[in-house]
Amino acid sequence: MEYTFPVTRTTSPKEKPDVNALGFGKYYTDHMFIMEYDEGQGWHDGRIVPYGPLTIDPAAGTLHYAQMSFEGMKAYKNPNGGINLFRPDMNAKRMKNSNDRLCIPQIDEDLFVAAVKAIVKEDADWAPDAPGTSLYIRPFIISPEPSMAVHPASRYWFIIILTPVAAYYEGNDKELHGSRIWVEENYIRAAVGGTGFAKCGGNYSCGMIASEKAKEQGCEEVLWLDAKEHRYVEEVGTSNAFFKIGDTVYTSSLTGSILPGVTRDSTLQLLRKWGVKTEEKRLLIEDVLEAADNGSLTEAWATGTACVISPIGLLKYKNMLYGMQTGIREPEMDGWVITL
Ligand SMILES: *Cc1c(COP(=O)(O)O)cnc(C)c1O
């Protein structure tokens, strides 16, 4: 099905930011996509409008009980001046799963992808082309419906905003030597049966305290362990974790408490294509640290749309630092890149 969306252009386009000072989410483009949902009517009136503040009732359920879901993807300027999207169908599918978990009505995958394409095309001139930069895409769903009762809303907004971004981890040091990761033993991100596999706001607000602790420990990110035994490696901050031990690359299986990353899936597919042995399983933190000590751990990295493929340089567990060796490769697979 073909979708077209009416466009209301801004009358006051913003000045484009300096590509050398983009940061992550400091600047937003001239337009946004918005579509509404009403019970009985479904999703309707998708349109592109000037970027700007929302008027929302202070009693909106989203603000109190966090019924919301979101996605994160990137558009890249290609060498021919066009724009590439990376496997947008995967984000559409994942948002469906998140919505199911949070009792939010699903958005048809084609409609989701059409909306993303339309807003990225509209603000394509905001896609930066300096190395490491991209146009970060943030689709999200909230409900403007006022209600103090805890139940699913009957009205929703699906909104897509765009922000030109630099690399997530700034500075060459981290690119070369990897980031320092704090292994969190007390706080947890998600438990099986909870919302760990869904991209929803509540997963992140509860993790901030551990991120602050990591910073106090001189680390950039948190390595989450499982909620029950605090022994199995889950993921790193907002990215999935990979460890090469011996001749095998390990990443946690999708237990329900892990976010199924598109970059994780792409990484596994590429490694298999290259003939590298991979295993998705629950990995004990003791085994990772022992492998670091005896030299069989040769690479460790995190994967995510925001942080791309980021080498992990050190794990800090209790009061000990464990060094990881790191390496980087470039992905290339048919059908993943969608050119607009
Ligand atoms: C988004 C996210 C990831 C990475 O997913 P990608 O699809 O690769 O961007 C991993 N873990 C968490 C907790 C996330 O929110």
Angle between helices 88-101 and 262-273 (to 10 degrees): 130
Token reading at 172:
């060459």
**Could you tell me the distance, in angstroms and rounded to a whole number, from the CA of residue 88 to the centre of ligand 1?**
14
Q: What is the pLDDT of residue 332?
A: 43
Q: How far apart are CA 236 and CA 228, in angstroms?
A: 17
Q: What is the pLDDT of residue 329?
A: 31
Token reading at 304:
């995510």
**Could you tell me the distance, in angstroms and rounded to a whole number, from the CA of residue 200 to the centre of ligand 1?**
11
Write the residue with the smallest CA distance to atom 14 of ligand 1.
238
Average confidence (pLDDT) per 10 residues, the chain, 340 residues: 94 95 95 98 98 97 96 95 96 98 98 98 96 95 96 98 85 63 96 97 96 94 97 96 97 97 98 97 95 90 92 88 57 58
Annotate 109-135 with b (16+ C-beta within 10 A) or e (fewer).
bebbbbbbbbbbebbbebbbeeeebbb
Ligand 1 atom closest to the CA of 237, numbered from 1:
13
Residues with CB under 6 A from ligand 1: 72, 199, 235, 238-240, 259, 261-264, 303-305
> 24, 70, 94, 305: which to mutate for ligand 1, most atoms within 8 A of CB?
305
Judge contact between 4 and 111, C-beta under 8 A: no
- Give the residue extent of every domain in the chain: 31-166, 179-329
Q: How far apart are CA 106 and CA 96, in angstroms?
A: 5
What secondary structure, in 3-state letters, does 191-258 show?
CCCCCCCCCCCHHHHCCHHHHHHHHHCCCCEEEEECCCCCCEEEEECCEEEEEEECCEEEECCCCCCC
Q: What fold is seen in the domain 179-329?
A: D-amino Acid Aminotransferase; Chain A, domain 2 (3.20.10)
Task: Please tell me the pTM assigned to this model.
Answer: 0.93
How far, in Å, are 190, 219, 281, 287 from residue 230 at the CA level? Answer: 11, 19, 16, 14
Where do the H-state alpha helices sit in the chain? Answer: 61-65, 88-101, 109-122, 172-177, 202-205, 208-216, 262-273, 285-294
Token reading at 268:
């596994």
Task: Report the first-to-last Cα separation within the chain, whole angstroms.
Answer: 17
Correct CATH for 31-166 of 3.20.20.70, 3.40.50.970, 3.30.360.10, 3.30.470.10: 3.30.470.10
Ligand 1 atom closest to the CA of 303, numbered from 1:
8
Q: What is the pLDDT of residue 330?
A: 36
* Parallel/antiparallel/unpaired status of strands 155-165 and 232-236: unpaired
Annotate 43-70 with b (16+ C-beta within 10 A) or e (fewer).
beebbbbebeeeeeeeebbbbebbbbbb
Ligand 1 atom closest to the CA of 94, numbered from 1:
7
- Chain centroid to CA 131: 20
